[in-house]
Structure 1
Amino acid sequence: MITRRDVFQAIADPTRRAIIQQIAVEPLNLNSVAEAFDISRQAVSKHIQILTECGLVVITQKGRERFCEAQLGKLNEVTDWVEKSRKHWASRFEKLDNYLSDIQNKP
């Protein structure tokens, strides 16, 4: 069974969000990423694997080192979803405001 991951799964976890923030500044090798967290290197590797599957991280080999590089373009999916949701709820709240005004102004 193949697990399909998306960008929303990637950002659902605070450790993965922290990894994204960390490597957004500059590509880092796996050890440098792992040193910033109070979890095992294996756990950090699993988080990076998920980020890679979601398309938010690319691993490149430079000599004997593997570097993690952020691919932040995939976060546009989140931005688009948030914007659509914001418009939807703004419209719904406006309708609610109008309804409440109507019933308050009725004699």
Structure 2
Amino acid sequence: MIITTELLKGVLEGIVLQRISIGETYGYEITKDLNRVGFEDVAEGTVYTILIRLEKQSLVTVTRKKSSLGPMRKFYQLNDAGRQRLENFWQQWQFLASVMTTIKEDDHA
């Protein structure tokens, strides 16, 4: 399914936070995971932009590690602030999903 860029922008940060919450990871791995689950159009540049923003907002802990394939890589883990942001994201998502379901059901009544 093709999802409009505008709709995806609104939730992509939460999706990236969720992926990081699973365990320490890096940008390319996040991008490949998102592509694998159905977000084929999400590019590395988009993910890296979100990671930079999360880092600037102090929502992740960043560790630089040597890569077997070349230069140092940034690995990301959620910190307490990131976990709180993720929890808030899911609360907002549940509210939005509930309201959208109500609207859809009311339109068919």
TM-score norm. by structure 1 comes to 0.53
Greater radius of gyration (CA): 1
Secondary structure, aligned partner of 1:28? coil
Q: Which residue of 2 aligns with 1:25?
A: 22
Letter in 2 for 1:73: A
Unaligned 5+ runs, structure 1: 1-11, 83-107
User: Aligned match of 1:53 in 20, 35, 56?
Assistant: 56
Aligned residues: 68
Query: C-alpha root-mean-square deviation of aligned residues, in Å?
Result: 2.4
Report the Cα distance in structure 1 between the residues aligned to 2:43 and 2:64, rounded to whole angstroms: 22
Secondary structure, aligned partner of 2:64? strand
Task: Give the % identical residues.
Answer: 13
Letter in 2 for 1:31: Y
Report the Cα distance in structure 2 between the residues aligned to 1:13 and 1:35, rounded to whole angstroms: 20
Deviation (angstroms), 1:19: 0.9
